[in-house]
Structure 1
């Protein structure tokens, strides 16, 4: 059992899976395990500052109750030498917490981590200097994310504006990419998935799953969307997948990228790579 004394908690009450009673519940769970926790529940615009302050406090454990994007930011701030990280399911997708704690509630996941947890390295991808722990989407499809978020927060006109922009950029800025030093190829977008969330790779595979989307128009996009609803989208003829440890992606101008659900703007040339130790997590022992 990993020894824990100082604990910082960041709870995003606006993340979609956290209610207003969560801070009190968290304090009680830690008290039941003989620990005190400093809990921060910031406004959305102050979330990153709260995460930085929590890491700067040099705790033994940083608990994040939020979505995958906030967990990604926390992992970037902690790094492989910083505090242990416990990313609890507090968002809408919760892909990362499910790979660590299963389909448990955040309360059960936290109790399990405190009772049986051990320190473990968490691998992931790097896009330039930025890590991702679930998936990175490079290319124009990433521009649909702001429209989705605006709709989620009840801002239909802003959602429409972002959707219009994304549609205008669709099929207008194809990427060039090379996987593991291979030939340059073209695609509308390239998706890189970490092995612990990939259906095609074993959890322990030391590589990313790269999926190139070679779409040539709305017909291809519609077919891909339909295939995503009825079967694995990787089976679509416009998708080519293969494992890779390092990739280079080029475009004629800046590349929009979605890292674990958060939009980033990259330069016109960027490198993607697999890292075996993006951060350290507090996780239950692996089953034999």
Structure 2
């Protein structure tokens, strides 16, 4: 799923983009090996001068270096996690971010750019007709996420899924065994501001796909046995566990989550692992950041 947005009322069509800072994640799931050279040539063809900051191990530092350059926009080429890092690092008074799809899922990018996720086409369309878009976020204990939060043992699938994406089958199998994602030891209870309560072994809180309906899509699953959990786990590893059998759904703008048998909650926020306390509240931030798009309201 993708995060909710509202297109800003302030027009950006008159914006003349001639200078850009580029934050490039060379390890993005779909960034080609010659990505920098390709982007340099495309920007030159479009009449945009650019300074590049390549992420090594510190995305925030790269974003800060990009911010030091005088630029009309900061282009961020990477996956959802890279985009989230940039959105969290840069403030509302900084140049707007132009996210380019360079990850595996690219859920945020699908909302920003629509169905066409070719980076060159996205870049060309935005630079020819930039429109500012407000991006919503979820927040829990001062941590913000722009795509979704996952909680429970199934969050341990992040490492084997990354290995599988890189076609390292042996590493994927090794990571999967070490993850113990099938351990039935993560019971949680979530209560939405709708009044609905869900007991779950795995819980997802995603920003809504519908721009006209801000909120969280809440998905909870409580498999009745190892076979059900195995099915859900393999779906999460190979595709998207939100489409698995037995997932309950809700819609909310505030969600309280409690770990029933542990002192903390295993979670990933936009793919980044965190450990939350036993009780955690998720709230919706309707206008958390802004990006550039070519889409109209």
TM-score by length of 1: 0.84
Match of 2:64 in 1: 52
Match of 1:213 in 2: 221
CA contact (8 A) 1:135 1:194 kept: yes
Match of 2:97 in 1: 85
Match of 1:39 in 2: 52
Match of 1:245 in 2: 253
Is 1:280 the equivalent of 2:290? Answer: yes
Judged with a 3 Å threshold, the aligned counterparts in structure 2 of structure 1 residues 85 and 258 are, in CA distance, closer, same or farther, namely same
Match of 1:199 in 2: none
CA contact (8 A) 1:145 1:262 kept: no
- Secondary structure class of the residue paired with 2:180: helix
Structure 2 stretches lacking a partner, 5+ long: 1-12
Distance 1:208 1:220 in 2: 25
Q: How many residues align?
A: 280
CA contact (8 A) 1:80 1:121 kept: no
75, 78, 84: which one aligns with 1:72: 84
Higher helix share: 1
Structure 1 stretches lacking a partner, 5+ long: 197-201
- Offset of residue 259 of structure 1: 2.0
Residue-by-residue CA offset, 1:119-144 (whole Å, 9 max, x unaligned)? 11011322332222222111111111
TM-score by length of 2: 0.82
Equivalent residues in 2 for 1:112-191 (5 A)? 112-152=125-165, 159-160=172-173, 162-167=175-180, 170-180=183-193, 182=195, 185-191=198-204
CA contact (8 A) 2:75 2:98 kept: yes
- Offset of residue 244 of structure 1: 0.3
Match of 2:74 in 1: 62
Residue-by-residue CA offset, 1:192-226 (whole Å, 9 max, x unaligned)? 12112xxxxx3321111111112232222245468
Residue-by-residue CA offset, 1:215-272 (whole Å, 9 max, x unaligned)? 2322222454688899995573x32111100111122222121222232222222221
Distance 1:150 1:62 in 2: 30
Residue-by-residue CA offset, 1:140-168 (whole Å, 9 max, x unaligned)? 11111122224545766764554234326
Distance 1:175 1:38 in 2: 46
CA contact (8 A) 1:146 1:263 kept: no
